[in-house]
């Protein structure tokens, strides 16, 4: 059961909150990138999260089809099979689905899981994200609460976003967002807790915003305020007791310092999304291979090239290995080395 079931996923999150570490949640777009995640996690002896965005799903379905749900299903089915060969647990998650894409992405995937459960099969995905950050908080939660009810019935964890993560990811941009929306307030988090807790015993994650931005930035460019998470947790504990703490998600971590990342872990971050960095480390060795082997990958002046150089398996293997190494570094940064529940 290396794809975690609901009980195991909950244990993973509970343990991370208690021990103050976080799981890397890596966006994937193909079987190769999914395999890189499994490799990096297994070599780190860490559990983790494989996630698919709307754009990633559309890409995975093929340029002629562009069906985001179909592509996500294809990747998830591969992970269910391949993960059995690795001695760690992974959870499957979908990333950043805005309100206008729920009907074509998250809801078809929930329906797929409902069909699987009716047939006695495990859930396809363990969790989904509804990104209602572009909406006023009340409208955001008006959509999130009934979605959480449906997810809870099917042992699916829901992730929501309170506030707006800056920058751009997967074609979704926060350009023009008022500065105050980039920082979640204790009042915002208390309102989210009040509404989401209407669904008794449901599990959910909260992507609060504390100055984090999507994209790639030089160290020092991103001005994080992890203390916002601390203030929010204190307000939640005061209102609901220790069990009222949020399980926070850290979006937009590229360019953040290690000290900032670990401070966020101390305040309840249990999941950190990683996409931009792994995109780069996957592509960089491919570019290196092409530049160093130009005469082999291109048929120059009537020559035939070198099949051992232009065979995609050659450079994709190098890319997979590079991405796996970056994931190992992420696990270490997030204090996750050797934390897998698989051996427990």
Tokens of 206: 């909260």
Render pLDDT for 10-61 as a digit per residue (tens, 0 to 9).
Answer: 999 999 999 999 999 999 999 999 999 999 999 999 999 999 999 999 999 9
Instruction: Label residue 211 by pLDDT band (50, 70, 90).
Output: confident
Q: What are phi and psi of 77, to 5 degrees?
A: -65, -40
- Residue 233, H or E segment: helix 227-240
Render pLDDT for 279-304 as a digit per residue (tens, 0 to 9).
Answer: 999 999 999 999 999 999 998 777 78
Among 95, 131, 275, 277, the one annotated catalytic: 95
**157, β-bridge pairs:** 127
Known catalytic residue at 100: no
Model pTM? 0.92
Q: CB neighbours of 164 closer than 8 A, spacing ≥ 6? A: 133, 134, 174, 177, 181, 182, 209
Comparing CA positions, the residue from 206, 217, 216 lying closest to residue 267 is 206
- Residue 13, H or E segment: helix 6-19
Tokens of 32: 């190769």
pLDDT at 166 over 60: no
Across 33-42, 144-153, 159-168, 243-252, least confident range: 159-168
Tokens of 291: 């530049």
Render pLDDT for 53-97 as a digit per residue (tens, 0 to 9).
Answer: 999 999 999 999 999 999 999 999 999 999 999 999 999 999 999
Tokens of 47: 């559990």
Q: Which CATH class is domain 6-333?
A: alpha beta
> Rounded distance, CA 165 to CA 182, Å?
6
């Amino acid at each position: 059961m290396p794809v975690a079931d609901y009980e195991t996923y909950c244990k993973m999150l509970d343990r991370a909150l208690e021990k103050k570490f976080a799981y890397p949640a890596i966006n994937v777009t193909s079987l190769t990138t999914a395999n890189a995640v499994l490799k990096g996690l297994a070599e780190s002896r860490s559990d983790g999260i494989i996630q698919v965005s709307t754009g990633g799903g559309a890409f995975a379905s093929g340029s002629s089809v562009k069906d985001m749900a179909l592509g996500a299903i294809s990747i998830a089915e591969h992970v269910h099979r391949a993960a059995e060969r690795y001695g760690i647990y992974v959870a499957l998650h979908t990333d950043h689905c805005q309100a206008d894409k729920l009907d074509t992405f998250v809801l078809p995937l929930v329906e797929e899981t409902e069909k699987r459960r009716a047939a006695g099969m495990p859930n396809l995905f363990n969790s989904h994200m509804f990104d209602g950050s572009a909406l006023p908080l009340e409208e955001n939660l008006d959509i999130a609460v009934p979605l959480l009810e449906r997810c809870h019935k099917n042992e699916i964890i829901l992730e929501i976003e309170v506030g707006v993560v800056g920058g751009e990811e997967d074609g979704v941009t926060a350009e023009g967002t008022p500065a105050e929306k980039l920082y979640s307030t204790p009042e915002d988090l208390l309102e989210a807790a009040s509404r989401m807790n209407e669904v008794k015993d449901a599990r959910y994650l909260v992507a609060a915003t504390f100055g984090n931005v999507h994209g790639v930035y030089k160290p020092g460019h991103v001005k994080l305020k992890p203390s916002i998470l601390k203030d929010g947790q204190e307000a939640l504990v005061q209102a609901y007791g220790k069990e009222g703490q949020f399980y926070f998600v850290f979006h937009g971590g590229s360019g953040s310092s290690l000290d900032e990342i670990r401070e966020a872990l101390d305040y309840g971050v249990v999941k950190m999304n990683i996409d931009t960095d792994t995109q780069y480390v996957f592509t960089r060795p491919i570019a290196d291979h092409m530049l160093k082997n130009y005469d082999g990958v291109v048929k120059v002046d009537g020559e035939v090239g070198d099949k051992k150089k232009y065979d995609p398996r050659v450079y994709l293997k190098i890319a997979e290995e590079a991405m796996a190494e970056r994931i190992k570094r992420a696990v270490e940064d997030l204090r996750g080395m050797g934390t897998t529940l698989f051996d427990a």
